[in-house]
């Protein structure tokens, strides 16, 4: 992880690692090496000397987005209720402070925009994996 322990990406990685380990049948080890790169589009104030991914030669990776994903086929009424609740939660001052403390900018937007971003990111990372000859094990 190119972030310090307790940062947003670290928290997410540590949350999903046990399930990944179980699915893959092998341990997932989270190793923090903070300062490798900023995943956003600009440098951050707390680490002004840390370069962005674009500065390191990866201009197509434009930050990292987090999204709330649900299973395919979830009833539209339930989905809209969940989306509205999440949107309201993201506007609460205490939530905004907690996310700001781990350097997460709150974006928001439509579900269609989130779906497009996920598809675009999957295509970019697929190209990177192929060019780097990364094969699933």
Q: What is the per-residue pLDDT across 83-102, written as a single tens digit (0 to 9) for each? A: 888 888 888 888 888 778 77
CA–CA dist 8, 40 (Å, integer): 12
Domain ranges of the chain: 65-137
pTM of the full structure: 0.50
Nearest to residue 100, comparing CAs of 2, 3, 1, 8? 8
Model pLDDT for residues 6-59, shown as the tens digit of each residue: 777 777 777 777 876 776 777 878 887 665 677 777 787 777 888 887 887 777
């Amino acid at each position: 992880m190119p972030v310090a322990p307790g940062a947003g990406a670290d928290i997410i990685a540590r949350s999903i690692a046990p399930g990944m380990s179980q699915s893959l049948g092998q341990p997932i080890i989270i190793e923090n090496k903070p300062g490798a790169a900023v995943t956003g589009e600009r440098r951050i104030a707390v680490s002004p000397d840390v370069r962005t991914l674009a500065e390191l030669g990866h201009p197509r990776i434009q930050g990292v987005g987090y999204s709330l994903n649900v299973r395919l086929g979830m009833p539209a009424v339930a989905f809209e209720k969940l989306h509205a609740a999440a949107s309201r939660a993201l506007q609460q001052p205490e939530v905004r402070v907690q996310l700001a403390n781990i350097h997460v900018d709150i974006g928001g937007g439509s579900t269609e925009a989130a779906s497009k971003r996920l598809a675009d990111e999957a295509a970019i990372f697929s190209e990177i994996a192929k060019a780097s000859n990364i094969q699933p094990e």
